[in-house]
A and B are shown apart, each in its own frame.
Chain A
Amino acid sequence: MKPKLRVENVYKIFGDHPEQALEGLKQDKSKIEIFEETGQTVGVQDVSFDVREGEIFVVMGLSGSGKSTLVRTLNGLIPPTYGKILLDEDDVASCSAERLRKVRREKITMVFQHFALFPHKTVADNAAYGLKIKGEGAASRRKKALAALEQVGLAAYADSYPGELSGGMQQRVGLARGLATDPQVLLMDEPFGALDPLIRREMQEELLHLQKKLKKTIIFITHDLNEALLLGDKIAIMKDGRFVQVGTAQEIVDNPADDYVAAFVGDIDRGRVFDAAHVAERPITVELGEKGAAEKALELMEEHNRNALYVVDRDRIAGLVTYQELAVAAREEGRTDLSEVLVTDVPTVARETPLNELYGAASAGYPIAVADKRGRLSGVIETEAVFSQLSGEDNDAATAATNDAELSAKEGERQ
């Protein structure tokens, strides 16, 4: 699939002699060295990425990492020094001012950190700004603005002024203004950065909720890794104007590219990043009606060293049997009918349930069933797997083990 937005080798160098800075970058010099030697400030260096339609692409970095500069190159507010920014067939970096205006009016809008609402216009007129600029008539403008405000739950405030609203509400207006022209791409420059934590959380969830309906292509800038992990279909970590790592939330948390990323990832809530599917194992099951099911179940449990086993009835999850009960029933009482010892009240979760919502299910003491959308068993989660993923030490433990093995092997060689 063709990406909606393709960024190719974008550089932004502030100063009169960008070629000097470029030369410095080729020699692997740092931003500071380049500034000291040439007086050029490197804002963004060699950034490339693709964003697919309907995807939320989050750029996360600390202040001064160039993320705000980068997002401004995407709609030409800051023209990049080198590189291409392809939005469909338009190259934002090199097209004419006329064309750029058209792109901004029709395809790409922006939501700002400090809201940037026009204080002299009503909420509805703020939301309708893009439409007015496009030259739409007053009636249709008002209608569309109200519809956009409706989406963010502020239709009742249409005739208030921004100064009369709280920060969270103001940013909703900012979002409504961005959505009113029905753009394909929405740039969000730390939109929730100026809000207090509770409101921020609320806005994040609302954005996700809206996105399910709207399916916009969103470039989201943030300095908050938790926010990035929550919202991003794909996340780029930016440092000194460069992308350090690009990947999904799970990829970044599981395999940080370097110490810088690892330091960030260190104290995030892993329970929110990983979902049930991530720790689920391929289910080992027996059919409810199968011949000799009980014996087979016992064998399987012994073979895989399990205490419980899921039983399926064609597509459905029928329940689970525990080794203990099944063994008692089969050996001592000679009964081989699974249905008599079947536990039907089994903990079941969806594939995308985050780990931090599995605790309740895990408390039953049974492995957790992971069901797909049609209710079929797609995996089983052993409770230990949840904890080892949460602790983030499963990989480390494994490496430690191999290291030990290698060490002893070497020692063996010496002897």
Chain B
Amino acid sequence: MISPADLVQIPLDDWVNSFVRDFLVPNFRPFFRAMQTPVTAVLGWLDAFFHWLPMLVFTAGLTLIAWRTAGRGVAIFTLVALVFIDMIGLWSETMTTLSMIITSVLFCAIIGIPLGIWSARSDRVLFVVRPILDIMQTIPSFVYLVPIVMLFGVGMVPGIIATIIFALPPIIRLTNLGIRNVRADLIEAAEAFGSTRWQMLWEVQFPLALRTIMAGLNQTLMLALSMVVIAALIGAGGLGLTVYTGLGRLNVGAATAGGIGIVLLAIILDRITQSLGEKNAVRSPSLWQTLRSMMALGKSGDEEKAGKAA
């Protein structure tokens, strides 16, 4: 049989090799190295902080947060889960993973929210951004591990960068969606009162899109968690590494323990961020109001009295 390959063969792999090895790496390596500086700084700080924080203080703190945002059930679950993780001897790994996750999500938000807003406000930007997001979401993460290693080396930070690439799309997409879905008549009203684009964004679009944006953040967080094992392949530590070494040594016990740790962490973070998103739509202003009224407690009391007197 004749096939097109008999006529022309395309050496795509060679092209990519020479592009990355001979062009990208020698010319841009310092640039990529510089790019990881902020990631390194944030990660270092967070990692140090979480490892410094005593286990009991952290557990108490996170339980309290869970209780305030997601209710008693989630708080009890958080408490039990964290105690369990400590008991199976994975506390330090969990803290490493948590600092990695928080770093990745932080950078995803820093990159993703502005990009989402930008693509919501300009169809042209969306036209460019959307196919890139499609590619990011469909391409298997193993494929970009190689160039990441070549450009950034191995270790925690390259692992985080791979995680950022993997987890970035939902926050961009949902920020874009949230802003675009703000009711047109509200935009018109804001415009009719002479809002600038920034005022419109800040006063109307962003607050009304916040719920959707929080859903995007939640998705990003979940994707970041699902990357921890893959990131361990290129030298990131934490629970992912426990699973990875367990896999390498056929140590099913260690792998299971690491896996359970990841799942428990995922459930805690998911519940807390989800309830943040849900409450934001209805409660965030009143929460702010509560804070404000707490600040001005004496004053408002006086006003009430004055009102009654009048």
Given contacts A119-B208, A120-B208, contact A104 B194 (CB under 8 A): yes
* Chain A residues numbered 142-193 whose CB sits less than 8 Å from any CB in chain B: 159, 161, 177, 181, 187
Interface-side segment among B159-167, B199-207, B270-278: B199-207
Whether B194 contacts A110 by the Cβ 8 Å rule is no
A289 CB to closest chain B CB (Å) equals: 56
Instruction: Indicate the size class of the contact surface on chain B.
Output: 20 to 34
Lowest 5 A-B CB distances belong to which pairs?
Answer: A105-B194, A104-B194, A116-B189, A110-B192, A116-B185
Q: Mark A112-138, 1 if CB is under 8 A from B, else 0.
A: 101011111110000001101110000
Chain B hits for A109, CB < 8 A = 192-193
Interface residues of chain A, those whose CB is within 8 Å of chain B, are 75, 77, 101-106, 109-110, 112, 114, 116-122, 129-130, 132-134, 159, 161, 177, 181, 187
Whether B285 contacts A121 by the Cβ 8 Å rule is yes
Chain A hits for B196, CB < 8 A = 101
Given contacts A118-B204, A120-B285, contact A112 B194 (CB under 8 A): no
Chain B hits for A116, CB < 8 A = 183, 185-186, 188-189
A92 CB to closest chain B CB (Å) equals: 12
Whether A112 contacts B185 by the Cβ 8 Å rule is yes
Interface residues of chain B, those whose CB is within 8 Å of chain A, are 183, 185-186, 188-196, 199, 203-204, 207-208, 281, 284-285, 289
Within the complex, which residue of B189, B190, B191, B194 is in contact with A102, where a contact is CB–CB below 8 Å?
Answer: B194
Bound-state CA distance A392–B265 (Å) is: 81
Whether A101 contacts B204 by the Cβ 8 Å rule is no
Whether A132 contacts B192 by the Cβ 8 Å rule is no
Bound-state CA distance A159–B188 (Å) is: 24
Given contacts A116-B186, A159-B289, contact A133 B195 (CB under 8 A): yes
Among B188, B191, B193, residue most surrounded by chain A Cβ atoms (within 10 Å): B193
B214 CB to closest chain A CB (Å) equals: 14
Bound-state CA distance A102–B196 (Å) is: 10
Bound-state CA distance A238–B284 (Å) is: 45
B268 CB to closest chain A CB (Å) equals: 28
Task: Kindly list 12 other residue pairs between chains A and B, CB separation below 8 angstroms, not including A104-B193, A104-B194.
Answer: A101-B194, A110-B192, A112-B188, A114-B185, A118-B189, A129-B190, A129-B193, A129-B203, A130-B194, A133-B190, A133-B195, A133-B203
Chain B hits for A133, CB < 8 A = 190, 193-195, 199, 203
7 pairs, A vs B, C-beta closer than 8 Å: A75-B192, A103-B194, A106-B194, A116-B186, A118-B208, A120-B281, A133-B195
Smallest CB-CB separation from B200: which chain A residue?
A: A133
Whether B191 contacts A130 by the Cβ 8 Å rule is no
Chain A hits for B285, CB < 8 A = 120-122, 161
Bound-state CA distance A121–B208 (Å) is: 10
Whether A77 contacts B188 by the Cβ 8 Å rule is yes
Chain A hits for B199, CB < 8 A = 133
Chain B hits for A104, CB < 8 A = 191-194
A283 CB to closest chain B CB (Å) equals: 51
Smallest CB-CB separation from B293: which chain A residue?
A: A159
Whether A77 contacts B192 by the Cβ 8 Å rule is yes
Among A103, A106, A118, residue most surrounded by chain B Cβ atoms (within 10 Å): A118
Bound-state CA distance A181–B195 (Å) is: 13
A315 CB to closest chain B CB (Å) equals: 45
Smallest CB-CB separation from B208: which chain A residue?
A: A120
Chain A hits for B191, CB < 8 A = 77, 104
Bound-state CA distance A128–B285 (Å) is: 16
Chain A hits for B183, CB < 8 A = 116
Bound-state CA distance A120–B204 (Å) is: 8
Chain A hits for B195, CB < 8 A = 101, 133
Among A109, A133, A161, residue most surrounded by chain B Cβ atoms (within 10 Å): A133
Within the complex, which residue of A105, A120, A161 is in contact with B207, where a contact is CB–CB below 8 Å?
Answer: A120
Bound-state CA distance A317–B62 (Å) is: 87
Smallest CB-CB separation from A104: which chain B residue?
A: B194
Chain A hits for B281, CB < 8 A = 120
A184 CB to closest chain B CB (Å) equals: 14
Bound-state CA distance A181–B194 (Å) is: 11
B110 CB to closest chain A CB (Å) equals: 24
Chain B hits for A177, CB < 8 A = 193
Bound-state CA distance A187–B188 (Å) is: 13
Bound-state CA distance A169–B248 (Å) is: 68
A141 CB to closest chain B CB (Å) equals: 13
Whether A132 contacts B203 by the Cβ 8 Å rule is yes
Chain B hits for A105, CB < 8 A = 193-194
Bound-state CA distance A101–B200 (Å) is: 12
Chain B hits for A121, CB < 8 A = 285
B53 CB to closest chain A CB (Å) equals: 35
Chain A hits for B188, CB < 8 A = 77, 112, 116
Chain B hits for A77, CB < 8 A = 188, 191-192
Bound-state CA distance A89–B217 (Å) is: 49
B3 CB to closest chain A CB (Å) equals: 49
A188 CB to closest chain B CB (Å) equals: 12
Smallest CB-CB separation from B195: which chain A residue?
A: A133
Chain B hits for A103, CB < 8 A = 194
B221 CB to closest chain A CB (Å) equals: 24
A377 CB to closest chain B CB (Å) equals: 47
Chain A hits for B194, CB < 8 A = 101-106, 130, 133-134
Chain B hits for A112, CB < 8 A = 185, 188-189
Bound-state CA distance A130–B192 (Å) is: 9
Chain B hits for A187, CB < 8 A = 192
Chain B hits for A114, CB < 8 A = 185
Chain A hits for B207, CB < 8 A = 120
Smallest CB-CB separation from A120: which chain B residue?
A: B207
Whether B189 contacts A110 by the Cβ 8 Å rule is yes
B265 CB to closest chain A CB (Å) equals: 32
Among A101, A105, A181, residue most surrounded by chain B Cβ atoms (within 10 Å): A101
Smallest CB-CB separation from B285: which chain A residue?
A: A120
Chain B hits for A110, CB < 8 A = 189, 192-193
A90 CB to closest chain B CB (Å) equals: 13
Smallest CB-CB separation from B186: which chain A residue?
A: A116
Bound-state CA distance A132–B203 (Å) is: 10
Bound-state CA distance A104–B195 (Å) is: 9
Bound-state CA distance A370–B199 (Å) is: 56
Bound-state CA distance A118–B203 (Å) is: 9
Smallest CB-CB separation from B183: which chain A residue?
A: A116
B195 CB to closest chain A CB (Å) equals: 5
Chain B hits for A117, CB < 8 A = 189
Smallest CB-CB separation from A106: which chain B residue?
A: B194
Bound-state CA distance A408–B306 (Å) is: 83
Chain A hits for B190, CB < 8 A = 118, 129, 133
Bound-state CA distance A234–B194 (Å) is: 28
